[in-house]
Amino acid sequence: MLGTEVSGLEKEIGRQGEGQASGGAEEKENTNMVTGFHEMHSSTGGHRSATLKRICSIDFAQLKQLGFLGPNDQRSRQAEEYRTIKRPLLYNAFGKGAALGEQGNLIQVTSAMPGEGKTFTSINLAISMAMEQDFTVLLVDTDDVRCSCSRLLGVEDSVGLVDVLQDPKLELSDAIVPTNLPRLRLLPAGRSSGNVPELLGSERMQHLVQEMSRRYADRIVIFDSPPLLATSQSTILAQFMGQVLVVVEAGKTPLQAVLDSVAQLNRDKPIGMVLNKSPQVFKSDYYGGYYGHYQ
């Protein structure tokens, strides 16, 4: 299990105004929330006011041991592969391809079957995109059962999407967590359980994804989701997305399963595919392993 391997991930405290995390209104709004991560009191003009702040410190060394892309790993072959994957997604979101669909900055990562690499791809894409100078990234864990994304990044015990969906008093800003990687924020899966498919299909979810999409003009939102053929959640979620990225495990996923899963998606929106865990020779190896020399 991925989560048990990283259960000791450190949660680091940040101080308001020190600027470790990406800035913006959500960060300011966060200062009054009760999170359990950290409490910092301040006194202003004779009125004592409590400000509470949390920052998730992602353990990149641990992630690297598990094979994930590191933020300082930009010359590796893996970094180059994720550049290739993210370019068309960014083009559809912000480039001329944006005309293809509304809310192209909302990207769902899914697959036909369990274990094909959705969470692996979501986290690596989020890291890769957060290294771009022109974008900010919000990574959303929509898999409330496995919560792999939240566990790997050390926010599995945090208020998250399901809590915000269930409790009208909670806002997105109460749940979004800044990280030690500038330009990357997380929305954990959450602590509540319930009728998650119904919650994901609700009008409130529609409003929330619109808010995620529109609040910042430079924001990409990546949704790590469950498999299309095993649950209804991913199909429900897909209706709100601007783009869908289907991860296919090389040499394992039957073609029919890929076809059946794509048939559940709206073909008017851009649908991309990632061939994951492939042992095949990649372009950079074939042409001399340029990036390999610099590792």
**Shortest Å, Cβ 155 to ligand ATP:** 16
Please identify, among the stretches 5-13, 76-84, 145-153, 237-245, the one whose residues bind Mg ion according to the rule CB under 5 A. Answer: 145-153
* 179 near Mg ion, rule: CB under 5 A: no
Q: What are phi and psi of 102, to 5 degrees?
A: -75, 155
Q: Which of 53, 54, 118, 185 binds Mg ion (CB under 5 A)?
A: 118
Please identify, among the stretches 23-31, 43-51, 117-125, 287-295, the one whose residues bind ligand ATP according to the rule CB under 6 A. Answer: 117-125
* 116 near ligand ATP, rule: CB under 6 A: yes
Quick one: 33 or 149, whose CB is closer to ligand ATP? Answer: 149
Whole-angstrom CA distances from 198 to 119, 235, 236 are: 23, 12, 9
Strand spans (E) along the chain: 39-44, 47-52, 106-111, 136-141, 177-178, 184-187, 219-224, 243-249, 271-276
- CB under 5 to 8 A by kind: which of Mg ion, ligand ATP, none does 142 bind? none
Q: Which two tokens stand for residue 187?
A: 């929305």
Please identify, among the stretches 69-77, 143-151, 196-204, 284-292, the one whose residues bind Mg ion according to the rule CB under 5 A. Answer: 143-151
Q: Which of 78, 105, 108, 119 binds Mg ion (CB under 5 A)?
A: 119
**Shortest Å, Cβ 190 to Mg ion:** 15
Residues in CB range of 117: below 8 A, 6 or more apart: 111, 247, 249, 274, 276, 277
The candidate with the shortest Cα–Cα distance to 116, out of 139, 90, 143, 89, is: 143
- Do 175 and 211 meet the contact criterion of CB atoms below 8 Å apart? no
Query: Which residues lie near ligand ATP (CB under 6 A)?
Result: 2, 66-67, 111, 114-120, 143, 146, 148, 227, 276-277
